[in-house]
Amino acid sequence: MLRRIFVRGNVERGWFRLNGRIVVEDLTKTFKKGNVQAVRGVTFEVEEGEFFAFLGPNGAGKSTTVQILTTLINATSGKVEVAGHDVVNDPEKVRQHIGVALQETGVDPDLTGREMVELQAYIFGFGKEEGRKRAVELLDIVNLTEAAERRIGGYSGGMRRRLDLALTLVNEPKILFLDEPTTGLDPSSRAAIWEELRRLNKEKGTTIFLTTQYLEEADSLADRIGIINKGKIVAMGSPKELKAEIGHDLITLSLKDEGESERALSLIRGGLDGVDVLSQQDKILVYVEEGTKQLVEVVRMFDAEGIGVVDIQLSSPTLDDIFLKLTGEPKEGVAARGE
Ligand SMILES: Nc1ncnc2c1ncn2[C@@H]1O[C@H](COP(=O)(O)OP(=O)(O)OP(=O)(O)O)[C@@H](O)[C@H]1O
Ligand SMILES: [Mg+2]
* One-letter-per-residue 3-state SS of 131-166: HHHHHHHHHHHCCCCCCCCCEHHHCCHHHHHHHHHH
CA 59 – ligand 1 centroid, Å: 5
Q: Give nearest CA residue, ligand 1 atom 29.
A: 59
Q: Give residue limits of the domains in the chain.
A: 22-239, 248-316
Cα–Cα distance measured from residue 330 to residue 105, given in angstroms and rounded to the nearest whole number? 28
Please provide the DSSP assignment of 267-288 as one string.
HHHHHSTT-EEEEETTEEEEEE
CA 151 – ligand 1 centroid, Å: 31
The residues near 150 (Cβ < 8 Å, ≥ 6 apart) are 112, 113
Nearest ligand 1 atom to the CA of 34 is 4
Ligand nearest to the CA of 57: 1
Cα–Cα distance measured from residue 108 to residue 160, given in angstroms and rounded to the nearest whole number? 11
pLDDT tens string 112-160:
999 999 998 988 888 999 999 999 999 998 889 999 999 999 998 888 8
Class (C level, CATH) for 22-239: alpha beta
Cα–Cα distance measured from residue 229 to residue 62, given in angstroms and rounded to the nearest whole number? 9
pLDDT tens string 229-251:
999 999 999 988 887 776 678 89
Nearest ligand 1 atom to the CA of 63 is 22
Tell me the whole-structure pTM to 2 decimals. 0.74
Angle at 159 between CA 176 and CA 323, to 5 degrees: 55
Ligand nearest to the CA of 64: 1
Phi, psi of 69 (to 5 degrees): -65, -25
Q: Give nearest CA residue, ligand 1 atom 18.
A: 61
Q: With respect to CATH, is domain 248-316 assigned 3.40.50.2020?
A: no
| Same fold for the pair 22-239 and 248-316 | no
pLDDT tens digits in sequence order for the chain, 339 residues long: 334 444 333 344 433 445 899 999 999 999 998 899 999 999 999 999 999 999 998 899 999 999 999 999 999 999 999 999 999 999 999 988 899 888 766 678 899 999 999 998 988 888 999 999 999 999 998 889 999 999 999 998 888 888 988 999 888 899 999 999 888 788 888 888 898 899 889 998 999 999 998 888 999 999 999 999 999 999 999 988 887 776 678 899 999 998 999 999 999 999 888 788 888 888 999 988 777 888 999 999 999 999 999 999 998 767 777 777 777 755 444 333 332
Q: Residue 54's beta-bridge partner residues?
A: 211, 226
